[in-house]
Amino acid sequence: MISRLFKTTGLCLCALILQGKLASGQTETLPSRLAPRAAGSGASLVRRAEQELAFIPEVVAKVDNETIAGDRIKAAVLPNLVAMLNTQGAMPSQQELHEFAVHLTNQLVEQKLLFQACRRAGYEPDMETANRQMFELEARLGEERFEQALKEQRISREQFLRQTADTIALNHWFETEVLPGIEVKEEEVEEFYRENREQIVEPEQVEVSHILIAVQDKENQESLEAAETRIREIAAEITGEDSFAAAAEQHSDCPSGREGGRLPPFGRGEMVPPFEAAAFASQPGQISDPVQTDFGFHLILSHNHSPRREVPFEEAKGQLKQMLTNRRVNATIEEILEQQRQQTEVEILLAP
């Protein structure tokens, strides 16, 4: 149960998930879906990303006599920066990076506070179980992969063991004492549905594949004409959905080319306007004429077009109950954190 409170990234079992204690994850943005791959070796991209994180100090926060190392923040941010450089050729501004680092620091402080509250409730770190789980994980991964994962997370075996032990204890505390007191009755779910029925809908969505011929210099007319000519040549070779997927794998400059150009379903407002307009105007099975966007020229193959619809109560009630339960769990966690803050000295060393 409590595992939903944490985001497991590699071996980092203790990172509070982003955007709230029970958030499901981050929404993929337009550039990561459509942008061309960037040039540069993996090592050079890592070095560039590390340079952007030089502002993070050795210690980012203190919680009583415990410290939070800046390496914990770097380990969480670095893979995302490298991925952005690889797919978009750019990264957030220094201000955005700083704000995100502060956000992660606050999450790790909250993590420490929860672990402290857990111990104060009488649930000590379960070192025996943690040790067994660590050796089982190492046996599955192999010693070399296990050590590499620890290196990437910038934590030692001892730190990993302690974090795992704390997490096991926190799980036990929540499952035994906290979560059993949280209940949402069906009458509450029905009331929420009645009051919010107009918002409980599935939005209009489309599913498409695309082929991108990227244009790096949008001001260069020769580059634009060459890309348009190339996309039209590719279009002339396509005879159906199978050949479209093969052409995407062979020619597309978008990372989605590896999946035959297939993109996740999306609604209005999620793509740049020219791409959205063509995608929503196409009928299933239809291939668009070349579409120009800031990224280059696209061919778009429509797979499915789902209209907006209201979701019946019986279909929605499971998710609504989970959402209302999550809200109460989050509120309970905030109460625990607030009580813990009043008993703990917290110092953030990464300036806001």
pLDDT at 338: 95
Identity of the amino acid at 286: Q
pLDDT in tens, 51-109: 888 899 999 999 998 999 999 899 888 887 877 776 666 678 888 889 989 999 999 99
Which of these, 133, 40, 127, lies nearest to 82 by C-alpha position?
40
Which of these, 138, 160, 174, 190, lies nearest to 316 by C-alpha position?
190
Identity of the amino acid at 309: R
What percent of the chain shows pLDDT beyond 90?
Answer: 67
Q: Are 26 and 76 in contact (CB under 8 A)?
A: no
pLDDT at 120: 93
- Number of residues that this document lists for the chain: 352
Q: Which residue has the higher pLDDT, 12 or 141?
A: 141
Alpha-carbon span 16 to 23, nearest angstrom: 10
Strand partners, 347: 62
**What does the block give as tokens for 307?**
């209209």
SS3 content of the chain, % helix, strand, coil (to 5): 55, 15, 30
pTM of the model: 0.65
Q: Which residue has the higher pLDDT, 248 or 29?
A: 248
Mean pLDDT on 318-323: 94
- Domains along the chain with CATH numbers: 2-186+317-348 (1.10.4030), 203-309 (3.10.50.40)
Whether residue 216 is predicted with pLDDT greater than 90 in this model: the reply is no
Three-state DSSP state, 55? coil
pLDDT at 249: 95
Give the range among 17-21, 52-56, 221-225, 317-321 with minimum mean pLDDT: 17-21
Chain centroid to CA 141: how far? 24
Q: Are 204 and 308 in contact (CB under 8 A)?
A: yes
pLDDT in tens, 190-212: 999 999 998 999 999 999 999 99
Helical H segments across 174-312, by residue range:
186-195, 221-237, 241-251, 273-281
Alpha-carbon span 57 to 113, nearest angstrom: 21
Helix (H) or strand (E) holding 317: helix 313-341
Helical H segments across 26-178, by residue range:
30-34, 42-52, 70-88, 94-120, 127-141, 143-153, 157-173
pLDDT in tens, 170-189: 999 999 999 998 999 999 99
Mean pLDDT on 148-174: 91
pLDDT in tens, 242-254: 999 999 999 999 9
Q: What is the DSSP letter of 220?
A: -
pLDDT at 88: 61
Whether residue 43 is predicted with pLDDT greater than 80 in this model: the reply is no
